[in-house]
Structure 1
């Protein structure tokens, strides 16, 4: 079988580039297509139906580009669209394609990072309101207590490159304080939005040293390695030339200006 299929990676904007960076570092031999739906970002406050519609359109675009495997590197899309796509659209129209998310891989390993079994989850309103992390974590680890905090101002601050300025401190302190007020025994905080790793320098100053601040890139990358080993029929289709392509539904020049902050190197994007 000829290896011609790139791995598709989708996000509503820039945040998925932090996950893409970890995946590309872990599996540099594969070809990748990244798609950011920047024209309709952020997804966090949209309805389930709208997010499902937008996500499916982008997944189908990646399928048309030859991707047999697509990673939703977006917590909101994973929370609000993934299950419907997996259970409805793939069996009906794309039985040979796979779409994976970021929530389940994280839930499967969260127990490794908490001794108190009290975990904080910080995400967009959409992710928090979906209850997806609470449900998935309790499915694997019923004894873990999950405390959630929505952080609606963090994505706009990050995407406008204001996240490390002093003006961001109020919203960082406010949301972190609100989370910790729910339980003083929280010892692991999951950043359940792929934008949030860019806040790590400030978050490490706000949270006590004993708290594990957990990002998802490495977790998702390790999970993908395991998935490909368990699904050789998918692995056999993947192109291996180490090529990375970037697309956006927005302005490519604006995308390139911000994308390097998330990806760690310059990117040259194309219009969707």
Structure 2
């Protein structure tokens, strides 16, 4: 009998809480263990090697906590580390362990949202440079044209609680203008960073009404529900007490305060160390 275990949800900081929120909404019966590597965030500007190393340490920590299934609820980690971990490292942790990301589930369905076949992707610099979305979307929707725009100021604005202020308007408009200048036929904009849903009111205010803004939470939650349906053995492994545990590599006071904004309700976290 395998040890029952929570579903691990990893992010470089707070953004993954927008994914966790939707997972809990769709699959409330499961136990979840969330880890934000806030001490080393943001990941978006770091090298492939560094993001891979940090993410691998986190995955290892989750497995040590008894998780069989880990979701990288971070686009940068999914773009820069997931494939290497799946292909190179997973085998050493045992045949039953799985690590999933947020890019593929999004790429599998995003084409259905667009009528013009022209998609705008807003992401961190790291995700844009990786071209993961271009490659994955081309795999599922070869006729779709994808335009990417890095938004380097968006995460710092959100992390510093400035996302509702007037200062954010300038940076949101600037990035959207750059994206839309690439093609006026874009009719769907994908928020390919888990922080960005907090800016949806400002994003929608700056875009023409016919353009649809898509965030990933519901897509990833639906994808995980489908995955667990297709893999009943994994679903059986995962414990179901409706319990959530929050951990951070940095200040728990900061995490509890800012995390509540992303998660939509108050939370209490514990401090852990990675890479020691």
CA displacement at 1:94 relative to structure 2: 3.0
Match of 1:214 in 2: 214
3-state SS of the aligned residue for 2:250? coil
Match of 2:39 in 1: 39
Question: 2:182 matched to 1:182?
Answer: yes
Q: Distance in 2 between matches of 1:92 and 1:4?
A: 20
Q: Bigger CA drift: 160-169 or 86-95? A: 86-95
> Is contact 1:3–1:240 with CA below 8 Å preserved after alignment?
no
Matches within 5 A, 1:73-84: 73-84=73-84
Q: Bigger CA drift: 97-106 or 84-93? A: 84-93
Q: Distance in 1 between matches of 2:223 and 2:243?
A: 21
Q: Distance in 1 between matches of 2:83 and 2:233?
A: 22
Q: Distance in 2 between matches of 1:48 and 1:240?
A: 35
Residues 93-150 of structure 1 show CA distances to partners (whole Å, capped at 9, x for unaligned) of: 3322000000000000011100000000000000000000000000111100000000
Q: When the two structures are superposed, what TM-score results if normalisation uses the length of structure 2?
A: 0.97
CA displacement at 1:2 relative to structure 2: 6.0
Match of 1:118 in 2: 118
Q: 1:2 to 1:53 in 2, by over 3 A?
A: closer
Q: Distance in 2 between matches of 1:182 and 1:204?
A: 18
Matches within 5 A, 1:1-272: 1=1, 4-272=4-272
Q: When the two structures are superposed, what TM-score results if normalisation uses the length of structure 1?
A: 0.99
Q: Distance in 2 between matches of 1:219 and 1:227?
A: 12
Residues 244-271 of structure 1 show CA distances to partners (whole Å, capped at 9, x for unaligned) of: 0000000001100100000011000000
3-state SS of the aligned residue for 1:236? helix
> Is contact 1:163–1:199 with CA below 8 Å preserved after alignment?
yes
Q: Bigger CA drift: 1-10 or 36-45? A: 1-10
Q: Distance in 2 between matches of 1:152 and 1:61?
A: 29
> Is contact 1:33–1:244 with CA below 8 Å preserved after alignment?
yes
Q: Distance in 2 between matches of 1:93 and 1:28?
A: 27
> Is contact 2:191–2:216 with CA below 8 Å preserved after alignment?
yes
> Is contact 1:6–1:30 with CA below 8 Å preserved after alignment?
yes
3-state SS of the aligned residue for 2:240? coil
Q: Distance in 1 between matches of 2:32 and 2:260?
A: 16
Poorly superposed stretches of 4+, deviation over 6 Å: none
3-state SS of the aligned residue for 2:237? coil
> Is contact 1:119–1:189 with CA below 8 Å preserved after alignment?
yes
Q: Matched residue pairs, number?
A: 272
> Is contact 1:3–1:236 with CA below 8 Å preserved after alignment?
no
Unaligned runs of 5+ in 2: none
